[in-house]
Structure 1
């Protein structure tokens, strides 16, 4: 495909991913069983894949609320990592993925070759991974936003965990990033340090900001944290198609790409109003961040946040409902 691809944030692993079905009756381990509701003939039930980051949770929460309250469906959600979610979708264990950050290998296998997964259109949100410093530090040292000057600030960005080098803070070790290769190939005096999870990374970033300390971090947009901790992107060498094909030699920035939705092919054809609604579902970065902020910062449950958003954005979601 001609459009640029954003690297997946989750590593492909040999081990089985744990899928969790969330219903009103509790949770079930779906590692060895399919959802009894996904792809069920004649049933007014939809099963959605939900990823661990809050933006993906916001998508599912709003879609679930509208499917239940406007279209009369029962909605179940399955928590599963990005790549295993493609297997689950192909097998009909889930009906839809609402936020995919670009998996060309999976697309070729399931969309082009097997035809078990059907594109559901763009989500309306453009995703981007990059390196960021706090805006207060960028304002004090404007040249830090050019990667060529990062070594100049390595001493200021050193931590106890970075082994005498500057620290580049990443999230979970399971995320796929090019950061170690970038540090090596750009000859930067930095050490990649993993926080352990998105939540742990957020906590560290907030602590740095509270103390007004400088930091350099891998981060991604859209993400609600930018509203609480303003950050400025460091310009890496420009992205060009194919510059990240060999992950050991990559020396370029991450791309920007429109995030995509995917449906199980059988569901896409026979899912009726639910399938039509999910194809129509398309909102903005601002919309997603609004719901994400309510979930992650304001203490609302996903369904409470979805209800609040729906109550104030009727003209927008009305357009998603099938006629």
Structure 2
């Protein structure tokens, strides 16, 4: 039986040979919503018709490996998505980092003064960790953390939106909460949070987000390939868009357009060589 995701990807990939069509896949994380909306609009500016398909982490990688989608700008490496990279990395083209300085881990509000390390977590402080979607790399790393640190705490899967909503509610009431976290993310600009020390080094401390595309894209669509290869920005850039979406209620596509308008020089660099 085919999953709905597989059917959607197959349908979107059926026009793969068209020179002006590009499909980008992405996971429903605020960071990737920001980056995918931005690069999609830049590709559209260059004359491409872009389809953005939201999927989970596994299908994001497999769809590009099989050529059903053209690429994604959401590969958190070298640790966070290591299992997906190991499984599918050799079947696609890696264009390098589009953002450096990425961090993943567990975070708590700074008012939890006696919790500064993963080793400090006990049922006396918290009985569960609020996570995101179960297939995410940070969730798999957290499962390893619970095992390696022998924590008597459960991991609850949800989504980026549900996790940040729970964080906001707990923060407003000054209640304890532990969340799976990553940076860049707007929650660090909105709340006073701290990453917990990770003495065993399970989480990503100095990672990057890389761009991955399907084999043959450079030959089929050299302009799009060049733009995706040129795409590079800073954590502050991504945070600016995420904050506008989360705090001001601006639609992702509008926030992306606003950022592009305010960062014309950087966008023009991405477009170089794509004629």
TM-score range with shorter-chain normalisation?
0.7 to 0.9
| 1:121 shift after superposition | 1.5
- Per-residue displacement from partner, 1:89-134 (whole Å, max 9, x unpaired)? 123221111111244455455443xxx4111121123332211110
Q: Determine if contact 1:124/1:259 at 8 Å carries over to the other structure.
A: yes
1:182 to 127, 134, 145: 145
User: Counterpart of 1:57?
Assistant: 33
User: Counterpart of 1:37?
Assistant: 15
Q: Where in structure 2 are there 5+ consecutive unaligned residues?
A: none
User: Counterpart of 2:129?
Assistant: 168
CA distance in 2, matches of 1:34, 1:260: 23
TM-score (norm 2): 0.86
Count, aligned residues: 268
Where does 1:1-323 land on structure 2 (aligned, <5 Å)? 16=3, 18=5, 30=8, 32-38=10-16, 40-41=17-18, 43-69=19-45, 71-102=46-77, 103-104=81-82, 106-108=84-86, 110-112=88-90, 116-138=91-113, 141=114, 144-151=115-122, 154-155=123-124, 157-158=125-126, 166-175=127-136, 176-188=139-151, 190-194=152-156, 196-239=158-201, 252-323=202-273
CA distance in 2, matches of 1:253, 1:85: 21
From the superposition, tell whether residues 97 and 234 of structure 1 become closer, same or farther in structure 2 (CA, over 3 Å): same
Q: Where in structure 1 are there 5+ consecutive unaligned residues?
A: 1-13, 20-28, 159-165, 240-251
Q: Determine if contact 2:105/2:195 at 8 Å carries over to the other structure.
A: yes
Q: Determine if contact 1:17/1:80 at 8 Å carries over to the other structure.
A: no
Point out the structure with max Rg over C-alpha.
1
TM-score (norm 1): 0.75
Q: Determine if contact 2:102/2:204 at 8 Å carries over to the other structure.
A: no
SS in 2 for 1:263: strand
CA distance in 1, matches of 2:84, 2:196: 30
| 1:180 shift after superposition | 4.0
Q: Determine if contact 2:56/2:135 at 8 Å carries over to the other structure.
A: no
From the superposition, tell whether residues 272 and 206 of structure 1 become closer, same or farther in structure 2 (CA, over 3 Å): same
In angstroms, what is the RMSD of aligned CA positions? 2.4
Q: Determine if contact 1:237/1:253 at 8 Å carries over to the other structure.
A: no
| 1:280 shift after superposition | 0.2
| Greater percentage in helix | 2
- Per-residue displacement from partner, 1:182-232 (whole Å, max 9, x unpaired)? 3344243x4224152221111111001101122222212211111111211
User: Counterpart of 1:247?
Assistant: none
From the superposition, tell whether residues 108 and 196 of structure 1 become closer, same or farther in structure 2 (CA, over 3 Å): closer
